[in-house]
A and B are shown apart, each in its own frame.
Chain A
């Protein structure tokens, strides 16, 4: 073995010496292969080599030689260029292209073509465009060159010019999926959804590709046609049942429409094929949370936390998982991380407020909730939670104003009613406890108005003798009514929709990202909310949007220490 190797090596060395020698000598030294090959081949070879050595030398040789030398075939190294190009060995590719262009005086169309492709990959789009244009001059009948010119124009953002070139290319080459798809893409970018849809549909008729399905779905979503989008995605999933992106998108769409069963099915499929799919994990996890499967959801989130450790919705959901498992401190630290990562997300603030209410930290809860209200002043729930916090902080006046606001914003007034009655009970308790307690007449007035608004027979409630001998602890009594429904279902629904809305790729006009989202309520209600006449948030406490943040961040560092 050893000897064999040494022989081998010595041969190798010999070979390398030979290559280093000047080429002219090399050709002389080389033994001509015996057989039926013509000597002319070797002459051609020799001249070919010399021609590659130096341009000037070549000219002389040509002029002297009586026989005209055979010109090298322009396309002779196209295959080699392509082999290196598809292997992403761009450096070697560029060297070969350079040699080939020198040899052919820049007439090798394919070499220029690949050079342009590489330039485009390197981000030099303008240069690539120029090269593709010169390709189109060398071979005007090629649709491919026109397609690439259009593609470069498209990448430069000149969509209209790109559309023209694509139409030109379509004239040369009918029924090309790529042209139709890219035309659709161009129209999509100039917001001509009708044409985009048309061309993408043509592309799908010619040939089915996941990309086209994806794009068509997006066009439908942007045009507000969710039903059509779902149809497209359904077809797409049928065509390629293992595409996780399609599955996730479809799942999220079903989720937004409230079809949880179907949503979960598709998201689950997506996770089967790609257990690391961040979007699917978040959406499926939030659905599990809704059903109380906190441990399973946490398992999924752990995977996502490794892949995307700085995602606000993920930490929000993890926080709410801990909340569901009654690990409040962990919940707070996760939520604070989410808040740190995305300080203007009112959903995180909402959840923080909720958890702090549960922890009986009313002063902190107040700050989080008032910050949330500043970011999203159109949601009754927030006012209600704020009112709970204020009630516990014994600021009865502002609490009732917050309740009033909540009632004004909340369509089904049940939550507010509960709270109202709760406050009444407390007032009664207070009145019974200390006989000389004087109520603010304004408060009384407000309470009566609210009673009327909520259609509660005011006499009945206010005159009810406060003989509630249960005497629950003050705070617990106040927190329970909102805490019970919010802590389990709705808040988690919040978390879920927050996860769903984080998906940047889907921007539904009526989507979650805009409206305050209670996925359990029909969407139109949410959309209506802003149009309701609303008094400006009166209480002075609501105007301090900037206060909670420094406090929380300070606390946060403490916690992390």
Chain B
């Protein structure tokens, strides 16, 4: 048997049905001996399609034993002992919507509905007035909006729905609904069990329910009356309950505001609060500690009083969590289903084992199934059902959390080898370093000299399109338009002096007369006012049909001087059209 790495060695694959069609969460799965024959069944609250065909399914062995339709989405499911009758057969409570449906012997037995929430009196009055015909729907709408803005108690479903209606539908809606009293109902979000007075495994348990309205109720199992009511600061997601109602208990609730609250017997307010930096996905109590899986891909351990113990980073986001409790071997761990199709088993912060699953695991349940104590039941994202049995020989060593040097440490560095060429070049440099340096310096000086010379020459002969003379600072740019053979040549001339105008300028062109013909190769420039751009236009015709182009040089001259003020070279494009003769 392999001891580490792949943990196929620790689990026996008992059953895998990839098309079981189960859509559920860990909170809706439980194992219980429903017929009192010593064989545990799997009870699953199946969400069906998410909006209809919700079912309560019971599996025995690998077979679906029974299924019955649920009226609403199951938010949670627990098996619990509600009385002391013999044989000891647990009932199943399914929380869905505002009700708890209790099944006994897999038959509907009792339905408990949450008490309605407090209704805003103002809202009630307004609807009363509508009923009596004192106000019309439009006024009603205004008043309800006013109530919504100010009141502490939220509006009822009817009012919110009414506020969303079009004016034309209001009358009908009011007619339809005004006979009924206003009610506000809430929804159960999670459910748990709490032993009533004894810690025995088959002791009578109370139901603990968390609601959307941020309440936690403890229900009496026989009379279904509310024994205790506690208030949370936010809506609960999932809870863990321990202790006995009559003695002392502790309800650890993960809430939607990203906090975990601990409720105790004495107080109706949370006793401790753990603020997490991201949303909790799963919460499992191991002994006296709480293990929380968070959306930031971490697993964190806390004491019962909310002190942080440890935090480890997981390789992928947490999808679901469950406790793995094996009292016969004194083993307690946490199973974590991850988004990378792995299930990891942790004891405290130590990873004990990992195994792969064919798909992402959506719910995990570990316990006694059939006659086997260590059975792991999982459902996967595609609706698959998987059952594994822990081998009796399997041992989980508490490996040290320090994983030793990472693998990367033994990877060789990617350093290129010494080549002969390199060695030769190095030797050459060593021998001739001086010559090389001098030759380089010499060439560098020559290069600089050549550059400087060219620059000076350009400046001296005004070859740049910027005039360097102080008395006549001129800038020019040229634009060539057209496809050929005729081009339009536009020269934009600007006097960049601060205030002095420039007069008596002319433009002349130098070009290959065998290639180009210019309409006016000599033009006078008008007086240049500083700052303005003067476009000077002329037309060039390409006389060659050989598809060649040339440079046209533009000179700006001062009248009476032969050296130009500035020069521009225009690279003419190749003429794409043929000359019409």
Using a CB–CB cutoff of 8 Å, the interface residues on chain A facing chain B are 1, 4-5, 7-9, 11-12, 15-16, 18-19, 23, 26, 30, 33-37, 41-42, 45, 49, 52, 59, 62-63, 68, 71-80, 82-83, 85-88, 92, 95-96, 99, 104-107, 138-141, 144, 177, 207, 209-211, 240, 242-243, 272, 275-276, 298-303, 305-307, 309, 318, 322, 329-330, 333-334, 359-364, 366, 392-395, 540-541, 544, 547, 555, 558-561
**B416 at the A interface (CB under 8 A):** yes
Q: Give A362 to B432 CA distance when docked, in angstroms.
A: 10
Within 8 A of A (CB), among B1-55: 17, 19-21, 25, 47-53
Q: Give A63 to B406 CA distance when docked, in angstroms.
A: 71
Within 8 A of A (CB), among B293-339: 295, 308, 310-311, 317-320, 339
Chain A neighbourhood of B179, CB < 8 A: 68
**B64 at the A interface (CB under 8 A):** yes
| B408 with A303: CB separation less than 8 A | yes
**B462-494 near A? 1/0 per residue, CB < 8 Å:** 000000000000000000000000000000000
| B21 with A16: CB separation less than 8 A | yes
| A558 with B256: CB separation less than 8 A | no
Chain B neighbourhood of A85, CB < 8 A: 279
**B498 at the A interface (CB under 8 A):** no
Q: Give A45 to B440 CA distance when docked, in angstroms.
A: 92
Sample of 21 A–B contacts (CB below 8 Å): A7-B63, A8-B17, A12-B19, A15-B67, A71-B157, A73-B157, A75-B186, A79-B187, A79-B212, A79-B237, A80-B47, A80-B75, A87-B281, A99-B50, A105-B164, A303-B408, A303-B409, A305-B411, A334-B415, A362-B433, A559-B419
B97 nearest CB neighbor, chain A only: A76
Q: Give A72 to B185 CA distance when docked, in angstroms.
A: 10
A343 to chain B, nearest CB (A): 19
| A82 with B256: CB separation less than 8 A | yes
| A72 with B311: CB separation less than 8 A | no
Closest 3 CB pairs of A and B: A35-B108, A306-B408, A105-B164
Chain B neighbourhood of A329, CB < 8 A: 418, 422
| B63 with A8: CB separation less than 8 A | yes
**B441 at the A interface (CB under 8 A):** yes
B89 to chain A, nearest CB (A): 16
Chain B neighbourhood of A362, CB < 8 A: 433, 437
**B414-453 near A? 1/0 per residue, CB < 8 Å:** 1110110110011001100110111011001100000000
A318 nearest CB neighbor, chain B only: B413
Chain A neighbourhood of B190, CB < 8 A: 79
B246 to chain A, nearest CB (A): 28
**Could you list 18 further interchain pairs (A-B, Cβ under 8 angstroms) beyond the known A7-B63, A33-B68?**
A4-B61, A15-B53, A19-B53, A35-B109, A35-B110, A37-B108, A79-B187, A299-B409, A305-B408, A309-B414, A318-B415, A329-B422, A361-B430, A362-B433, A363-B437, A394-B434, A558-B422, A560-B416
Q: Give A76 to B47 CA distance when docked, in angstroms.
A: 14
Contact partner of A360 among B154, B163, B430, CB < 8 A?
A: B430
| B53 with A18: CB separation less than 8 A | yes
**B270 at the A interface (CB under 8 A):** no
Given contacts A23-B52, A63-B172, A106-B164, contact A333 B415 (CB under 8 A): yes
| A559 with B161: CB separation less than 8 A | no
Given contacts A63-B172, A88-B317, contact A73 B52 (CB under 8 A): no
Chain A neighbourhood of B398, CB < 8 A: none
A336 nearest CB neighbor, chain B only: B416
Q: Give A86 to B72 CA distance when docked, in angstroms.
A: 22
Given contacts A7-B63, A19-B49, A88-B317, contact A209 B275 (CB under 8 A): yes
Interface centre among A141, A144, A177, A299 (most CB of B within 10 A): A141
| A363 with B433: CB separation less than 8 A | yes
A77 to chain B, nearest CB (A): 7
Q: Give A5 to B187 CA distance when docked, in angstroms.
A: 37
B431 nearest CB neighbor, chain A only: A360
Q: Please report the total number of B residues contacting A with Cβ < 8 Å.
A: 102
B270 to chain A, nearest CB (A): 14
Using a CB–CB cutoff of 8 Å, the interface residues on chain B facing chain A are 17, 19-21, 25, 47-53, 61-64, 67-69, 71-73, 75, 97-98, 101, 107-111, 148-149, 152, 154, 157-158, 160-161, 163-165, 169, 172, 176-177, 179-180, 185-187, 189-190, 212, 235, 237, 256-257, 275, 277, 279-281, 295, 308, 310-311, 317-320, 339, 402-403, 405-406, 408-416, 418-419, 421-422, 425-426, 429-430, 433-434, 436-438, 440-441, 444-445
| A9 with B19: CB separation less than 8 A | yes
Contact partner of A15 among B21, B281, B402, B425, CB < 8 A?
A: B21
Given contacts A107-B161, A107-B163, contact A240 B308 (CB under 8 A): yes
Q: Give A322 to B406 CA distance when docked, in angstroms.
A: 22
| A8 with B64: CB separation less than 8 A | yes
Given contacts A36-B108, A78-B235, A86-B279, contact A359 B408 (CB under 8 A): no
B295 to chain A, nearest CB (A): 5
Q: Give A12 to B64 CA distance when docked, in angstroms.
A: 9
| A276 with B408: CB separation less than 8 A | yes
B474 to chain A, nearest CB (A): 33
| A72 with B157: CB separation less than 8 A | yes
| A68 with B177: CB separation less than 8 A | yes
A32 to chain B, nearest CB (A): 9
| B319 with A87: CB separation less than 8 A | yes
Contact partner of B413 among A87, A301, A541, CB < 8 A?
A: A301
Contact partner of A4 among B63, B110, B412, CB < 8 A?
A: B63
Chain A neighbourhood of B430, CB < 8 A: 359-361
Chain B neighbourhood of A95, CB < 8 A: 50
| A361 with B433: CB separation less than 8 A | yes
Q: Give A62 to B165 CA distance when docked, in angstroms.
A: 15
| A276 with B413: CB separation less than 8 A | no
| B165 with A105: CB separation less than 8 A | yes
Contact partner of A242 among B164, B257, B310, B441, CB < 8 A?
A: B310
| A34 with B97: CB separation less than 8 A | no
Q: Give A35 to B69 CA distance when docked, in angstroms.
A: 14
| B411 with A306: CB separation less than 8 A | yes
Chain B neighbourhood of A107, CB < 8 A: 160-161, 163-164
| A209 with B319: CB separation less than 8 A | no
Q: Give A559 to B189 CA distance when docked, in angstroms.
A: 67
A253 to chain B, nearest CB (A): 23
| A209 with B437: CB separation less than 8 A | no
| A41 with B311: CB separation less than 8 A | no
Q: Give A95 to B413 CA distance when docked, in angstroms.
A: 49
| B21 with A177: CB separation less than 8 A | no
| B158 with A71: CB separation less than 8 A | yes
Q: Give A73 to B188 CA distance when docked, in angstroms.
A: 11
Given contacts A35-B108, A211-B277, A559-B422, contact A144 B257 (CB under 8 A): yes
Chain A neighbourhood of B281, CB < 8 A: 86-87
| A210 with B422: CB separation less than 8 A | no
| B154 with A139: CB separation less than 8 A | yes
Q: Give A306 to B412 CA distance when docked, in angstroms.
A: 10
A307 nearest CB neighbor, chain B only: B408
Q: Give A105 to B275 CA distance when docked, in angstroms.
A: 34
B60 nearest CB neighbor, chain A only: A4
A245 to chain B, nearest CB (A): 11
